[in-house]
Amino acid sequence: MKQQIARISLIVKDYDEAIEFYTQKLNFKLLRDTPLNDNKRWVIVSPPGNTSGCSLLLAKASSEEQETRIGNQTGGRVFLFLFTDNFWRDYENMTAQQISFIREPSVEVYGTVAVFEDLYGNLWDLIEPNQNFTS
C-alpha cells in the first residue's frame, strides 16, 4: 500500500492576500488558482523545489466558526514545518520581507530552527534539519 498526505488545508481570510503573502514573502509557487463558484476557489501553493510533494490548499473561511480558526488552527502550537537546505539564506530573506519571527534561531539536536508567524498568526518552524533528521 502506498499513501501520502497530498494537501493541508489552511483557513484564510482572503484568497488574494494569502496568495500574495505566500508567493511574495515566502517565495512559494502558485500551483493552481481555479474558481469553483462565486465564492470558492481551489488555490494551491507550495515551497520552491517541492512542486510535487505536499502542498497547502488555501481555503477561505466560509462560516463564522471557520473565521474563528483563522490564524489559530492548532491552539497556538507550531502548525507547519518548513524544511530548508540553507537556514540562514531563508532566514535573512524572510526577515528582509518583514516576516515576524517569534523565536530566534537556535541549534537543536534535530537542526537549526526558528519560529515565525504567517500573515494570520499561524506558527511555523523554519528548519534546516541535520542529516540524521530529514524525515
CATH of the structural domain 1-61, one choice from 3.30.230.10, 3.10.180.10, 2.60.40.1120, 2.60.120.200 = 3.10.180.10
Domain 75-135, CATH: 3.10.180.10
- Taking residues 127-131, what's their average pLDDT? 93
- For residue 27, the model assigns a pLDDT of 96
pLDDT tier at 131, thresholds 50, 70, 90: confident
Average model confidence (pLDDT) across the chain: 94
Query: What is the rounded CA–CA span in Å between residue 6 and residue 24?
Result: 23
- For residue 133, the model assigns a pLDDT of 73
Nearest by Cα to 128 from 106, 111, 116: 111
Residue limits of CATH 3.10.180.10 in the chain: 1-61, 75-135
- Taking residues 104-115, what's their average pLDDT? 96
What digits encode the pLDDT tens for the residues 12-65?
999 999 999 999 999 999 999 999 998 899 999 999 988 678 999 999 999 999
Residues 5 and 53: beta-carbon distance below 8 Å: no
- For residue 134, the model assigns a pLDDT of 62
Q: Work out the number of other CB atoms within 10 angstroms of the CB of residue 98.
A: 7
Q: Assess whether pLDDT exceeds 70 at residue 135.
A: no
3-state secondary structure 88-121: HHHHHHHHHCCCCEEEEEEEECCEEEEEEECCCC
- For residue 83, the model assigns a pLDDT of 94
Q: Assess whether pLDDT exceeds 80 at residue 92.
A: yes
DSSP string, the chain: ------EEEEEES-HHHHHHIIIIIS--EEEEEEE-SSS-EEEEEE-TT-TTS-EEEEEE--SHHHHTTTT-TTTTSEEEEEE-S-HHHHHHHHHHTTPPEEEEEEEETTEEEEEEE-TT--EEEEEEE-TT---
